[in-house]
């Protein structure tokens, strides 16, 4: 099989792994020698938290696998074309793509061939050759295999910026049913081992006075969960995510909507979940990590343990907790402002900074490109009172819900209309 065909098969097979965003690593470049950087711009598919764009070659070493996980397109019994790169081929492709300015880094995963140890050894060889032989300083994310020898995982951390181990499914019981060859406990033990090494590296780096400590995955570790392959509710998904963040200090938990595969097991649902469910879970994950929301609060915005798919989780929560509003733009602490639908962390910080110089008005939010239709009912300011029955209106959801296909515009007439007190009709019940 020629190299181009291998690349076509193995790049396509890698699309099911969502956990390839690059972020949080050390800044490196090749000014003093070597090849590549973690700071370059180019054809990109991943963004760092500071806005840097990092293009990644996202590929599998092989899509052959000895495991037979029911939900996986590359399972042992799947009838798909198989391919495998040699270590030399994958190193050459990565370097060639970098020189052509196609990529700035590599995301490498693999099916299990022969054994977990053998597969992990091949993955590590790719990273080691890129770093030590070719001086590659670009971003490398390696998907690690929890059943592999801990010494191999430790070596992977020397060369990778980020490591990840997929927990696969939200519930351990589901993993036993759909992927009986995988051990949920082993996955968490391996994640704990990575956390210990990552923490030790971070601590040693702070305390080092002379020689730099041995490098170990400076961008931390992440994981991925498949959503919709089992009967787990959004509450279960988010509870599992919160536990993973707390127990292993993960940088990210990624969600991947289940996609039906050919000749699927009868244990799997016949159709995929709504794609918007994955989107809402990412929004909920953001609320947990940056807005101070608990899992219970987020889930309370929906019904039966599932998020409201029609509106974002923060708005869903606010609509069910109207008694906590309106929030005063000029007096409320940061924690309360972050609860206002439509106000993100950056704009909240801008509001707090601006009110040191004088009162913040609703009209000032327009200049920050804040979605006024969503924000106005939940705040009060010198030029706008959120009271007057607005929060009690039965049609509030319709007012603040996103308009399909219509971009949010700053409309002074709309703002003025919302600012007027609402007087319900005496005959509304007739």
pLDDT tens, residue order, the chain (430 aa):
888 888 888 888 887 776 555 444 455 454 555 544 444 332 335 555 555 666 888 999 999 999 999 999 899 998 899 999 999 999 999 999 999 888 889 999 999 999 999 999 999 999 999 999 999 988 999 999 999 999 999 999 999 999 999 999 999 999 999 999 999 999 999 999 999 999 998 888 887 655 667 889 999 999 999 999 999 999 999 999 999 999 999 999 999 999 888 888 888 998 999 989 999 999 999 999 999 999 999 999 999 999 999 999 999 999 999 999 999 999 999 999 999 999 999 999 999 999 999 999 988 998 888 888 889 899 999 988 765 567 888 888 988 887 653 334 444 444 444 444 434 333 333 3
Percent over 90 (pLDDT), the chain: 61
Residue 21 has what pLDDT? Answer: 52
In terms of Cα–Cα distance, which of 291, 308, 298, 393 is closest to 346?
Answer: 291
Length of the chain: 430
- Rounded CA gap, 36 and 42, in Å? 12
Decide: 90 and 108 in contact? Cβ < 8 Å.
yes
pTM given for the model: 0.84
In terms of Cα–Cα distance, which of 37, 35, 55, 57 is closest to 45?
Answer: 55
The bridge status of strand 46-47 relative to strand 53-54 is: antiparallel
- Rounded CA gap, 146 and 67, in Å? 14
- Rounded CA gap, 282 and 313, in Å? 10
- Rounded CA gap, 239 and 243, in Å? 6
221 forms bridges with which residues in the sheet? 163
In terms of Cα–Cα distance, which of 203, 162, 205 is closest to 46?
Answer: 162
- Rg from Cα positions in the chain: 25
- For 88-126, b/e burial (b = at least 16 CB within 10 A) is eebbebbbebbeeeebbbbbbbbbbbeebeebbbbbbbb
Percent over 70 (pLDDT), the chain: 83
- Rounded CA gap, 149 and 268, in Å? 32
């Amino acid at each position: 099989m020629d190299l181009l065909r291998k690349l076509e098969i193995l790049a396509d097979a890698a699309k099911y792994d969502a956990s390839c965003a690059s972020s949080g690593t050390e800044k490196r470049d090749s000014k003093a020698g070597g090849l590549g950087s973690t700071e370059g711009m180019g054809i990109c598919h991943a963004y760092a938290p500071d806005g840097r764009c990092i293009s990644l070659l996202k590929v599998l070493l092989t899509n052959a696998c000895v495991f037979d996980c029911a939900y996986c397109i590359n399972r042992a019994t799947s009838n798909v074309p198989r391919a495998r790169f040699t270590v030399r081929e994958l190193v050459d492709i990565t370097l060639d793509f970098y020189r052509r300015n196609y990529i700035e880094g590599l995301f490498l995963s693999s099916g299990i061939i022969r054994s977990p140890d053998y597969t992990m050894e091949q993955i590590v060889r790719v990273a080691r050759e890129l770093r030590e032989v070719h001086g590659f300083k670009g971003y490398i994310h390696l998907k690690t295999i929890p059943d592999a020898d801990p010494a191999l995982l430790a070596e992977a951390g020397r060369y990778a910026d980020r490591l990840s181990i997929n927990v696969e499914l939200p519930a351990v019981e589901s993993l036993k049913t759909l992927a009986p060859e995988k051990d949920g406990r082993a996955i968490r033990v391996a994640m704990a081992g990575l956390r210990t090494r990552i923490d030790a590296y971070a601590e040693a780096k702070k305390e080092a006075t002379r020689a730099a400590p041995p490098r170990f995955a400076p961008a931390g570790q992440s994981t991925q969960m498949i959503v919709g392959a089992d009967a787990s509710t959004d509450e279960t998904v988010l509870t599992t995510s919160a536990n993973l963040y707390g127990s292993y200090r993960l940088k990210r938990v990624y969600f991947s909507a289940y996609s039906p595969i050919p000749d699927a097991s009868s244990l799997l649902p016949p159709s995929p979940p709504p794609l918007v469910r994955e989107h809402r879970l990412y929004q909920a994950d953001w609320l947990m990590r940056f807005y101070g929301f608990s899992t219970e609060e987020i889930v309370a915005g929906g019904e039966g343990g599932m998020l409201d798919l029609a509106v974002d989780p923060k708005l869903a929560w606010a609509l069910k907790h109207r008694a906590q509003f309106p929030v005063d733009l000029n007096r409320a602490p940061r924690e309360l402002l972050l609860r206002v639908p439509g106000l993100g962390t950056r704009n909240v910080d801008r509001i707090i900074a601006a009110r040191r110089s004088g009162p913040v008005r609703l009209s000032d939010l327009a200049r920050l490109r804040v979605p006024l239709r969503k924000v106005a009912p939940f705040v009060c300011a010198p030029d706008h009172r959120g009271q007057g029955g607005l929060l009690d209106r039965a049609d509030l959801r319709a007012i603040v819900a996103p308009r399909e296909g219509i971009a949010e515009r700053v409309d002074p007439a709309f703002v003025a209309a919302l600012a007027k007190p609402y007087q319900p009709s005496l005959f509304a019940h007739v």
